[in-house]
Each structure stands twice: as C-alpha cells, then as structure tokens.
Amino acid sequence: MAEHRASAQELPTRRRILSHFRKRDPKIARVIQAIGPFRLKRNRKYFVVLCRSIVSQQISTAAAETIYSRFEKLFDGHAPTPERMARLKDAPLRGAGLSRQKAAYLKDLSHRFLDGTIRPHQLNYLGNEEVIDRLTLVHGIGRWTAEMFLIFSLNRLDVLPVDDLGLRVAVQNIYGMKARPDAKRLRTIGKKWNPLETVATWYAWRSLNADIVNY
C-alpha cells in the first residue's frame, strides 16, 4: 500500500501559499493576504473526534456541547475508547441525551474500530477516497464528516468539501456570484486551487468567521 504523501506533509508556508494562489486564483490570494497565516491544528484523537461528530449531528452547538459533556462523564474521567464504548449499555447513553439512533451509531463506530475495519495507524497511509470509504461504513458517518476528518485529523491539504454550506456561501461572496455555487461549480473552481484545496477552503471559512476553524 503506497503512502499518501499529503498526510505526512508539513503545513505550507505563507510564502508558498501566496505564490500558488497569486498564480492560480488571485481572488483567493487577496483573502489570504487580508487574513494572515494559515493555521491548522491536527487532532490525533481519532475515535474521540468521530464520537463528537456523531453526537453533534443535526443539533445546535450549545446542545451538542451539553450532551457531549454528559457523554464524557459516562467514562468516569477516562477518555472514550472503542473498548469502553462497546461496554456501555443503551440506558446511560439515552440518559445523557442521545437519541436511540445516535447511541446505535456510537456502538457501530466502536465495533468498526475493534474489528479492524478502521485501523487508526493505517489511516495515514490511505488515500483520501480510501479513508472516506472506510469511515462511511460506520452508520451515521457521511462523506462531509469524513472530509472534515481528513482536514482536521489527518491534515490533508487537498480536500474540497463541495457539500459544505459555509464554503458555498464564502465562495459566492468572494467571487461576487448571484447564487451559491453548486458542487459542480465548486469542483471547477477547486481545480485552480489544487493541490491546496484545503488551504483555500480554510481561508474561505475564515472569511465568514474570524475565529480559527477547528473540529
């Protein structure tokens, strides 16, 4: 299995980023110039990241934080792990505020880690689509969640989440479009960004929200 080089790359320097986008997409280059350095913090706690993503689905940020805090307390001061998750009964999960469906998703996630479907140390050596294929085998994890994992847990530099609403809104603003671009239009624009699609996406998000994007 060939190593996916993007997973092992250091974050590009501001000089490299600006040089690339000034040649390929001056509109994004101007955003980069205005915002400042590219910062992307890697979260290596893969199981925890995916648990949090499942808990947070389709609810407000405030509600997600409350429920996740209750969820963490079920582990008696320890970090959630596949083994500990697999031992939990449904009742305490439901008592923490999780729906029956999300509780089932979390159980499935733990089983996928335990049966080797998802091998944390192997993920760095898989291509982007291979990682997405593995993660989306878990009930409750879709392509968008897998793409966020690629960006924030593996720090892949060439991820273009075309279904992300924030990216669509930001690109509409940056390009002065009358309507939000669809996935096909974003892919066309993203060709100019290659191989730094993640970088352009991060700056697009920052153009909407000055806070450091995290996951």
Please tell me the CATH code under which domain 46-152 is placed: 1.10.340.30
Q: What is the pLDDT of residue 9?
A: 60
5-41+158-208 and 46-152 agree in CATH topology? no
pTM of this prediction?
0.92
Instruction: Single out the residue of 199, 165, 214 nearest to residue 41, CA to CA.
Output: 214
Instruction: List the pLDDT tens digit at each of the 215 positions of the chain.
Output: 344 444 456 899 999 999 999 999 999 999 999 999 999 999 999 999 999 999 999 999 999 999 999 999 999 999 999 999 999 999 999 999 999 999 999 999 999 999 999 999 999 999 999 999 999 999 999 999 999 999 999 999 999 999 999 999 999 999 999 999 999 999 999 999 999 999 999 999 999 987 766 76
Q: Which of 108, 163, 164, 211 is catalytic?
A: 164
> How far is the C-alpha of 117 from the C-alpha of 53, rounded, in Å?
19
Q: What is the pLDDT of residue 211?
A: 76
> How far is the C-alpha of 120 from the C-alpha of 198, rounded, in Å?
22
Distances (CA, A) of 24 to 1, 27, 184, 191, 203: 32, 9, 19, 9, 15
Question: 164 an active-site residue?
Answer: yes
Q: Which residues contact 171 (CB under 8 A, 6 or more apart)?
A: 177, 180, 181, 186, 189, 204
Contact criterion met (CB below 8 Å) for 140 and 108: yes
Residue 18's φ and ψ, nearest 5 degrees, are -65, -40
Cis peptide before 181 (omega within 30 of 0): no
Query: Domain residue spans in the chain?
Result: 5-41+158-208, 46-152
Query: How large is the angle between the packed helices 128-135 and 143-152, nearest 10 degrees?
Result: 130
Task: Give the fold, CATH level 3, of 5-41+158-208.
Answer: Endonuclease Iii, domain 2 (1.10.1670)
> How far is the C-alpha of 129 from the C-alpha of 132, rounded, in Å?
5
